[in-house]
Amino acid sequence: MDDAPDDAIPLDVADAETRLLLGMFDTPAFARRGQELEYSLARLRDRCQRERHERLEMVRLRLRQWAGAVTGPDAWLWSFDGPIDALWPLTGADVPLWASQPAPDRRRRTIARDLAASLERFNRRWVVFLKGLDFTLINQAIDQYNRYYLLEKECSLGSARLASRHFQPIAPLTTETLLTEYPVLPVPGLRP
């Protein structure tokens, strides 16, 4: 027993006109293109942030060791050739809990050397990771966005002036552009 009326249109319509009519109520092509590119860029940034966070674990450990061996932020004067205060926010490390008594000089030098080595190791591995990313698909999406977004928006709105408002073309991604967003860390020199 079929409750559907005889004149109901099946969803697998072969008629091109009906499919076109059904498509008129969908999201415009320019909006879909922009959303897809935005989603792709967000996925890439999420991956970079996740990978960066994982690779910084040893650096954060060395920063905790350093804070546990010195009495305050000025202790870098005896071990490094420059301040290291910027490393905590750059690595996402917790606020340092300084020691009440400084560790022996030899211990501080060892921790300082280990911290510098961890920073250098992170920087090398981070650059290798970024150079290993394949930008082909996302750069194709960026190219198509730059090429077709305005045309599709103009077709939808019926006005070139309205379509071009607030449009900013997106530059293709490279290792260098990602390094500006996710930079390597400064490595302080060690005092003798």
pLDDT single digits (tens) 70-126: 999 999 998 999 999 999 999 999 999 999 999 999 999 999 999 999 999 999 999
Instruction: Report the pLDDT value the prediction gives residue 25, as an integer from 0 to 100.
Output: 61
Instruction: Report the pLDDT value the prediction gives residue 6, as an integer from 0 to 100.
Output: 55
How sure is the predictor about 177, in pLDDT bands with cuts at 50, 70 and 90?
very high
Distance CA 11, CA 33 (A): 25
How sure is the predictor about 30, in pLDDT bands with cuts at 50, 70 and 90?
confident
CB 185 within 8 A of CB 87: yes
- Contacts of 57 by beta carbon, 8 Å cutoff, 6+ apart: none
What's the distance, Cα to Cα, between the start and end of the chain in Å?
92
57, pLDDT greater than 80: yes
